[in-house]
Each structure stands twice: as structure tokens, then as C-alpha cells.
Chains A and B, each alone.
Chain A
């Protein structure tokens, strides 16, 4: 027989706990839920948008009655529980009916506090807590003109804004001189007040209400200073009190809230509590995010898994008044031991304040521009030491470190661990994974799958940005990102099929995967060719599916001539080499010679038919192609290193040359650049290369995934090794992993950002046999790649490419 679980309170925290429980142990309990409201579970925090008219009631339902039915839950709506009989293990409702339990979950939320002043029970005096209150306000707004909201906190302001939107004249009465004093300091409070005044709200600050006056219905309000204000409606939003009455009567230990331990258990081990009604480690909570954390832990213990603990929460707040951007988190008032960093521009209505203690963020208030809220919150929760970027902290994440001048997107820049949806505790990584794994494309899908942005909705913009940064522009909504218009398959699907089914030619791929075009297009053919070259080195390479630069082994220029860059190993040269290059330039009247950004010499403006002859001469002088045109290894930059430099710790030049000799000629998804610096001064700029090596006294630091270019990205640190052989092995393994894992035309930087550094580390650093196998595959395939293409062509390979078919006079 199933055990009986009874829950009192059909609200957000409780139902979430049941949802979590059903995931863990769907068959364990026979569940009964009592709710004193007549509604199934709705999203209480979206009452304000319903009040303003931005949303309808059906938009804010979280679980409808069918959900309870489908999960065999006995739902008792409109039934208030009035007694818990602990000895008899049963609860009693208003009608006197009893229900037995084996375990009980109390989730009764809290009650709005009503100031017990004279007149508080008059008609027209209400609180702001549930659907009934919203209905009441909407009815009043239809009939009456004037409203007073007592309390200038979060709830009061949302109520006031809603009533204003519904056409009433609204005055907010506040006891103190700062609005939302629990979330804002005086400066941001003042900014908020003035923008709400601009919208037509009136304020009566530092005012104490003495009495509410009226016959049957409220007519006016009297203040302690003797002044009065006529009104048809009074909304009290002065605070909430955890609803502990029931528990207290049953003798369950309660203080401000029902006291629970880290497993959400009350002093009666059969009875649990979640939500606003409880008190944990001395704290009570009035926001959704912590309640949901509690729900998860509670479910874990109800399912008897016994391995989750709730250790308290840090919360952040946003005001849900459309058009007002406000964020606050943590302790933003500070004391003698803390420091404030403040940025203020009242003219554009921006205010930012971050409170630091020992260079760690204690709290933050943002007004007017809240893009970086999630970032500060993240730094705060992680206890990140911000001394490295203190000066630019207030300019936001986009100004830190490696962010380039390319498209900077707050969402894209967020680390995967950053919390995006504070309500549901959803981190960016969760969203990104769900989007990828489940092929999500719309905000609704993301909401459905991750719960992000499904509660208060203030992170909606951020979620949309993440969606956009993961799946691109989603105005069109394909199920998945096809390789190109010639197929519905993705890059990954095509690659897998090539390997799994041993497909060894482009026509075979197209036939087996039902390509929609006869010969593919200029986008998929080079990609397919690359995937085949990578999977079957030495067995396949289709010349006609390569871009002209890779066919001609030189870079096409705007006037149709070509540029030629011979390899200059590690950037090192000598008089003989330089003379040979100079001779070639003279002999073929090459108009321009230039030192490239990659430490070698470019010969620009070579006529196509001269290329084989130029290469012949270069080849005889000992040069091979520099592959400056290739989706393959380009340059290996080095610095002089220990040989000469007074700071050099290792022979970076030789290390670079060895790497270049190992990797030259290889084909990769996109171009691949390496650099080796002889000490952390990093003169070879190794930390913006696909593979960067920085020598230190005790060995070599390896860095991956950097690039200069369109969007500058500094490398991620991979690991440190001690010997030259290891550098070679790690480099080969990394290149091979990149080759086998990345999409065609995806450089290491976006690839690593897509798959995550830990994915790379898992294969290269943590898995020694795996690394060695990767390195071996790389070196094996290199056996087919290091025939110099220039020498071959100088000897007549693909002669037709460089000669006209004929000449007609």
C-alpha cells in the first residue's frame, strides 16, 4: 500500500515540491492537497501583470486541474484546514472532515499584514496577495476614481502602478523617506520615485496612517500629522507574516516561521514545511527562488533519497514595473568595514552601486541599466575576488578582460555558471544545454523545458538573448540547424553518418543522406570534403570541392592575382633564404613584398600562371608552402626565448619550430595558429592563438581557444606540462580533437565556447590514454599531409589549374 502524503496549501512552493517529488518517486505516495483558494496552482508573482492588463489569468496558471488528475492527486480546492492532529496523524478541514496522513507537508505561505488601525475592516480596505484581491481591485477601478496604497515597497509599488494603469488616481503612502528601502539606498530610491512620479503616481512620504474613516465603505484616510486624503480604496502592502497559526496550534515549534532543519523537516519528523511559512537558520524568505530550492530538498527527503541539504539562499530583487529597470542584491548599505563603488548619471537616469568587503561583492543596486545584474550576483555568490578588475567593475562585464570590439552581447558573455533566472535558479549552462539537446527555438520552449523566465519574467530579455546567441536569429523557427539548404541534417549528424557508415565520397554522402541538390553547393561541398578528409586521411580529397585558395595553394587577391607566403619555420630565417626570396621576387617581377602579421614574408601580386614556376624556385631553395590560404595550420609565432633574451626561461624558438614541423600541412575545420613565448611577458602573443604555449621556469603553460581577429578572445588555460615532448603530444591531441569535434568553419574559440572548456579538458588533460590515442591519430594522418603541395605543382600536378586552355588571337 502507498503511504499517504497530505499537503496543506496549494501554492507555489508546495506544488513545486510535489512536482519535484513526482520526478523522483512517482509511485511512492497517495497525495492529497488542500487549498483554501478556489484556484489550481497559479503564478502569484505574475499578479501584477494581470492587474495592469499585460497578462490574462490563464497566462499565469502553472498547474491546471487536469495536471492534478493526470498525476492522481486528490485536489481539494476551497477547503481550509483548521486543525492538525499529530497524535492521530490526520488533518481536519472547515467542514469537520478528517484526512489521515503518513507524512504531512505544510506550505501555507504567508498572510499580508494588516495594520490594526481604526477602520481597517471597512469595505474597500484590502491587501494584495491573491487572485481575489486582484479581482477586487479591478472591480473597484471600474466604479471608483481614487486609491491609496499604504506601503512603498515592492508589492505596494506594483499595486499602485497597476491601479494607475487601470485609470485610478493613486497615492502611495510610505512611512520612511526612501521607497523600497529594503532593496534600495537613498539615491536609487529617489530616482525610482521621480520616474514613478513622471508616470503619474503621487507620493506621501514619511507619513504615518492614523485611521481609515468611512461609513460602510472607506471614504478617507487620516494621518498622524492631522492631514487627510479622500479615497475609495485602500490597499495595504506593508509586509507579510509567515502563516504559522495552524502549526503553532498543533504544537509544532515555530518562531517567526515554522522552524525547519536543513532537510525541511519540522520538529515533528513526520511533518515537513516549505515556502514562506517556514523559518530556516533564523531566516524567513519572501521570494520565489529560495522557496524553489527548498522544494527540491524537501522532495528529495520525502522520496527518502536523503542526500540533499538546504543551506539558505542569497536573493536578488527586480521590480516588475514595465519600463523601469531596477536590480538589487545582497547587502547594499554596508558599514565601516565595507567600501562603496558608485556610478551615477542622473541625467540619463542611471545609478549603479556595488558594495565591497575585502574585494568581494557584498551587494549591489542597479537602476536604469541592469544588464550586469546577473554578473554581479554571480560574482557575489561565488565570492569572486574582484581586485583584478575593480576599476572597471561598474562599466560591466563587457569591459572586462578579453572582450573585443566585435558583437558584444551580455548573454553570450555570461559564463555558463551564471544564474539567469533567479526565480527558478536556472543557470545559463542549463538553458544552453536544453536549447541544444532538445532543439529548442522559442522562448516558450525554453520556458517549458527549463522553467527559466516562467516565473516573474524579468529575465525574459536575457533568456531571449541567450536563445539568440545559441540558435541564432529565431524569427524563423526550424527544428534544428541544417548544414545548408541542400539537406535537413546538421553538421554533427552528417559527420556521425560518415564515420558510422564508412562513407568515403561526397556523392555517396549525398546519395545516402538524400541530398536535395545534385552537386550540393559552395557551402556544403567544402564542409563534406573536410569531414571526409578528416575521417579518411589519404583516402579522399576532392579537389573541385575546395575553395580556390586551397586549390591554387595561394591566396586570391581582389585583382585575381595571387599571394605567396613560404613557410619560415618559427619565424626564423637566414641570409640564404632571404636572398632566395629576393631573387624570386626579382625574377617574376613581383610587385609587393611584405612582412606579415604571422612573422614571415608575403609575395603579393603573382600571376596565376607564374605560380608553379615561383614555387619551383622556392622549393629548390628549401621552402615549403606556408599554407597562408588553408583551413589548416597557418603560422607558429615565436619569440627569441632563452637563447638570447635576458628574461627567457625556455627555448621557445626551437619549441615553436618543432611544433610547426609536427603540425604543418594538416587540415583543420578552420585556420589554426600557434605561438610560443619564452616567458610570461608573452611577446609572441600566445594567449590569442588557437594553441598558445607560454614558457615558465618550471615548464610550459598550455593555452587554447584564443584568437585575434573579428572578436578578440584570450585563451583558456588548459594545463601545465614540464617537457617538450609533452607540449608536442598535447598539441597534437588538441588539434586532432578539434578536428574531429568542431564544425567546418568553426574556429577553436567559438568551438570551445560551444562545447565548454571542461569537455576539452576531459579529453586532453584528464584522459591520458585518450590523449595519446588522439595524438597518434593526428600523427598518422600527418603522414599523408606533409607532401609539399608547391613542390608537387612545380612538378606538374594539376597543371591545368594554372594554364589557360588555349589562347585565341
Chain B
């Protein structure tokens, strides 16, 4: 699937996030203080907490349920915790944001959710 337009940079608060609803579940879009934008499946690798509700610092988000730190660049849990959530590419063109959801991934996760 090609890039999908999801909104403008200014729609996301600095050090905050917004959620994009997709057929395969919520995807959290984060923006840090340097206006870098990241996208993660909104499911914590620990107990599925909504990462979009966490506190954002530089390159990590802290899950609101039990304080795991997740690296927003790759979805990897920071040590000492272990686990990973899916991450996605976001492309910004003149402050318009596009989310890259590979087709095959979509199929797989949709299946998983359906199952």
C-alpha cells in the first residue's frame, strides 16, 4: 500500500501523540520536541497498554500502565525490559504527514486481529 495521508504536523502536540484508526488496530503517531514523527502500533509489548497515552521524551515513550519505556524509532522496549511492538514509517512533506503501511503487514495483522 502506498503512503497514506494522515494529517498535518501541527495536529500532533509536541511531546505528545495522536491515534490513527486503521483496520488493523490503532497506530500511535508521536511527535517529539525536534518535530521528529514516529509511528507505533498502539499496543505495549508488556500487557497491551495504549502507548499513545504515555509520556514522550526525546526518542522514547513511557507506557501509562506499568512504565515500560519503548523506543519510538523501532518499537523496541528499553532495557531491562524486553519486547517489541510494530513500528511504521512516517514521511513528512511540507508538514503534511504520510503513513507507510506495507500491504503484506496489513494482511497479516488483520488476520491476527480477526483470529
Interface residues of A (CB under 8 A from B): 517-522, 525-526, 543-545, 547-548, 551-552, 556, 558, 560, 800, 804-809
Contacts and interface: CB of A to CB of B under 8 A. Distances in A.
B93 interface: no
Contacts of B54: 522, 548
B84 interface: no
Nearest to B6: A806
Nearest to B33: A519
B14 A800 contact: no
Nearest to B97: A805
A560 B50 contact: yes
A556 B67 CA distance: 14
A504 to B, nearest CB: 18
5 A-B pairs closest in CB distance: A522-B62, A805-B18, A807-B21, A519-B57, A548-B53
Interface in B49-90: 49-50, 53-58, 62, 64-65, 67, 69
Contacts of B47: 558
Contact of A560 (B16, B49, B56): B49
Nearest to B59: A518
Nearest to B47: A558
Given A800-B18, A805-B12, A807-B20, A556 B57 contact: no
A556 B53 contact: yes
Contact of B64 (A547, A805, A809): A547
Contact of B55 (A547, A804, A806): A547
Contact of B13 (A521, A525, A544): A544
Given A518-B58, A522-B62, 20 more contacts: A518-B33, A519-B56, A520-B57, A521-B55, A522-B57, A522-B69, A543-B13, A544-B13, A548-B54, A556-B64, A558-B47, A560-B49, A800-B12, A804-B20, A804-B21, A805-B11, A805-B29, A807-B21, A808-B4, A808-B99
Interface centre among B20, B22, B23, B64 (most CB of A within 10 A): B64
Given A520-B57, A544-B14, A808 B33 contact: no
Nearest to B24: A808
Contacts of B23: 808-809
Interface in B1-59: 4, 6-7, 11-16, 18-23, 26, 29, 32-33, 47, 49-50, 53-58
B62 A808 contact: no
25 contacts: A517-B58, A518-B57, A519-B15, A519-B32, A519-B33, A522-B67, A522-B69, A525-B55, A544-B15, A545-B15, A548-B53, A548-B64, A556-B50, A558-B65, A560-B49, A804-B20, A805-B7, A805-B12, A805-B20, A805-B29, A806-B20, A806-B21, A807-B20, A808-B99, A808-B101
Given A522-B67, A804-B20, A544 B4 contact: no
Contacts of A807: 20-22
Interface of B: 4, 6-7, 11-16, 18-23, 26, 29, 32-33, 47, 49-50, 53-58, 62, 64-65, 67, 69, 99, 101
A800 B49 contact: no
Contacts of B12: 800, 805
A519 B33 CA distance: 8
B13 A800 contact: yes
Contacts of A521: 55, 57, 62
A522 B18 CA distance: 18
Given A519-B57, A521-B57, A548-B64, A808 B16 contact: no
B56 A544 contact: yes
B1 to A, nearest CB: 9
Nearest to B16: A544
A517 B69 CA distance: 15
Interface centre among B21, B26, B69 (most CB of A within 10 A): B21
Nearest to A544: B15
B45 to A, nearest CB: 15
A221 B53 CA distance: 85
Contacts of A804: 18-21, 26
A807 B4 CA distance: 11
Contact of B7 (A519, A520, A526, A806): A806
Given A519-B33, A543-B13, A805-B11, A525 B57 contact: yes
A809 B110 CA distance: 12
Given A544-B14, A547-B55, A556 B20 contact: no
Contacts of A548: 53-54, 64
A806 B15 CA distance: 19
Contacts of B22: 807-808
B43 to A, nearest CB: 9
Nearest to B55: A522
Contacts of A520: 57
B21 A808 contact: yes
Contacts of B57: 517-522, 525
Nearest to A526: B55
Contacts of A556: 50, 53, 64-65
A501 to B, nearest CB: 23
A74 B45 CA distance: 73
A805 B19 contact: yes
A526 B67 CA distance: 13
A555 to B, nearest CB: 11
A517 B55 CA distance: 14
Contacts of A543: 13, 16
Contacts of A552: 53
Nearest to A542: B15
Nearest to A486: B57
A55 B92 CA distance: 71
B68 to A, nearest CB: 10
Contacts of A805: 6-7, 11-12, 18-20, 29
A450 B110 CA distance: 67
A808 B47 CA distance: 25
Contacts of B50: 556, 560
Contacts of A522: 54-55, 57, 62, 67, 69
Nearest to A519: B57
B21 A545 contact: no
Contacts of A547: 55, 64
Interface centre among A518, A526, A548, A551 (most CB of B within 10 A): A548
A551 B56 CA distance: 13
A545 B7 CA distance: 24
Contacts of A519: 15, 32-33, 56-58
A353 to B, nearest CB: 49
